[in-house]
Amino acid sequence: QVQLVESGGGLVQAGGSLRLSCAASGRTFRNFVMAWFRQAPGKEREFVARISWTDGRTYYADSVKGRFTISTDNAKNSVYLQMNSLKAEDTAVYYCAARPSTAYSYAYWGQGTQVTVSS
């Protein structure tokens, strides 16, 4: 059974940094795309970043480009989101998600981790 477990959220001041982690288990993710999404209060869940576990290609939402970096650690079966220059509008619950590289939708989701940026 696939499990995605996020950690690393918390409270940080504007301009600060946080690193989120997502530990993946339950199957091999070699041909998967891993992503981070977020959902702020009263808003729909939105895409943040994704990475191909096969070739390492990344893609970012315009709102985080240049500030956030997504990466993987194959040995630890983990995905990370390094968030720098945080803004109040980055406040949200952040979710890790996974899908096969040939699929369009994300089949697997973590439980989420809260990130709060104080201004």
Task: Determine the average pLDDT of the residues in 96-101.
Answer: 96
51 CB contacts (<8 Å, ≥6 apart)?
Answer: 33, 34, 35, 57, 58, 59, 70, 71, 72, 79
Instruction: Answer yes or no: are the C-beta atoms of 18 and 116 closer than 8 Å.
Output: no
Give the model confidence (pLDDT) of 21-56 as tens digits. 999 999 888 899 999 999 999 999 999 999 999 899
Confidence band for 110, pLDDT divided at 50, 70 and 90? very high
The residue with tokens 């070739």 is 55
CA 27 to chain CA centroid, Å, is 19
For 115, other C-beta atoms within 10 Å of its C-beta total 22
Mean pLDDT of the chain: 96
Measured CA to CA, the distance from residue 35 to residue 59 in angstroms comes to 9
Give the model confidence (pLDDT) of 53-90 as tens digits. 989 999 999 999 999 999 999 889 999 999 999 999 99
